Amino acid sequence: MTTSDSPTIEASVTAHADFTRGEVSASALLPAMPDRVFRAMTSAEICQWWVHPGVFDTREWNGDLRVGGRWESAGIGGGQPYRLKGEYLEVEPPVRLAHTWKMVGEAGDPSTVTYRVEPEGDSVRLTVDHAGLVVEEICEATRAGWETSLTRLAEILAEERRQLPRGL
């Protein structure tokens, strides 16, 4: 139920890939406060929004949220089990987070994901920059994944906001 005065959630999410540089940049305007968004990025809540229906489904996540701490997630992607792992490089609640990202068992260097959380009125702008994606197909799949995942996060946070009593 949208009107011309009320943009869709999808309209507030963008994701672009630069295949030459092997980078994805995604952005979402989220109806939440910075600490709420940071918690969604750094807890098992990831299992609710790191999804791309029919493509991948994150089912497990754990992490040690500190610089040098490790994180790991697992799920089903393309009908096959997958495991991702990484190390936290920057942890600045609730405004910045950076970590490495690598498929368990994959050769080569990990990619790097940086999240920036910036207040915009009664919402926040979450920007995700994912660098080090050297294969064009992986870069495009990652772009699509961030777009659908951020759309799902926006839906979850919008529903939470609708559940709040008026005036909060």
Percentage of the chain with pLDDT > 90?
Answer: 83
pTM of the model: 0.89
Distances (CA, A) of 6 to 11, 46, 126, 159: 10, 27, 20, 15
ω into 94 cis (within 30 of 0): yes
Torsion angle, alpha carbons of 24, 27, 28, 33, to 10 = 120
Phi, psi angles (nearest 5°) of residue 79: 80, 0
pLDDT, position 141: 92
| Through-space distance between the first and last CA atoms of the chain, rounded to whole angstroms | 23
User: 81-85, 123-127, 162-166: lowest mean pLDDT where?
Assistant: 162-166
- Domains of the chain, earliest start first: 13-163 (3.30.530.20)
With beta carbons less than 8 A apart as the criterion, state whether 28 and 153 touch. yes
- Give the number of other Cβ atoms within 10 Å of residue 143's Cβ: 21
Give tens-digit pLDDT for 92-130: 999 999 999 999 999 999 999 999 999 999 999 999 999
- Give the number of other Cβ atoms within 10 Å of residue 8's Cβ: 11
pLDDT, position 83: 96
Sorting pLDDT into bands at 50, 70 and 90, what band is 151? very high
